[in-house]
Amino acid sequence: MERDLISKKELLDEKGISYGQLYRWKRKQLIPEDWFIRKSTFTGQETFFPRDLILARIDKIMNMKDDLSLDELADKLSPALPDYEMRKSDLVKRNIVSSIVLQRFASEDDDSLVYAFDKLLYFYVVDKLLQAGEMSMEEGERLLWTLREHFPKFTGKACDLVFTRKMGVSSFALLSAPSELYFESGVKVVARISMTECIEQLKGKWV
């Protein structure tokens, strides 16, 4: 899975930003350190970025930087979990998690129960995969368990969720991102989701 990369120079030209802006955003932690990929080329050392991630991020920064200060932006984009919380009944009302998921996995919780952000994130991820039709309800339960058990161990570091299937047997894995992963033949990667992106999407629902 060779990632599509964009060089720093191309990026600046394409987006019309300056070196100063890029370094400033990096200082403010708007662009994660591990997106800066150093490679040697025939002109010497050059820095590359994962194309899809960085382009989306720059667009996001450019769109929001007029309304928010850079520090506020950094809060929004950081992989650390914010201390947002939400009542169970609001989850369905605001269409963040479908009612089916809540019925299935949180039927014993009271409607007025307030979930912390991490719990919401787990429901959100499960919901996302279910909605995409890639996962069954039983698998959803296992995924929820996996997330509860292992996701807190990453403590704010970026991580990916990998969902694979082989001969109908499915399994989940959480791995720190960015990392490369290769499977034996016959293994089908059903989904690879960046948890950091999910956090961002979910955070976006608060505005």
Q: How far is the CB of 13 from another protein (least distance, A)?
A: 5
Sheet holding 159-166, edge to edge: 169-176, 159-166, 188-194
- What secondary structure does DSSP assign to 179-190, as a single string? ------TT-EEE
What minimum distance in Å lies between the beta carbon of 31 and another protein? Answer: 11
Question: Closest separation between CB of residue 8 and another protein, Å?
Answer: 8
Amino acid at site 183: F
Quote the Cα angle for 194-201-73, to 5°: 105
Q: Which is nearer to another protein, 9 or 93 (CB)?
A: 9
Burial class (CB in 10 A: 0-12, 13-18, 19+), 35: middle
For another protein, the closer of residues 20 and 133 by Cβ is 20
- Residue 125: name the closest of 64, 19, 200 by CA: 200
- What is the DSSP code (8-state) at residue 4? P
Least Cβ distance, residue 52 to another protein (angstroms):
23
Cβ proximity to another protein, 12 vs 193, nearer residue: 12
Closest to another protein by CB, 18 or 179: 18
Binding site for another protein (CB under 8 A): 9, 12-13, 18-20, 22-24, 26-27, 43-45
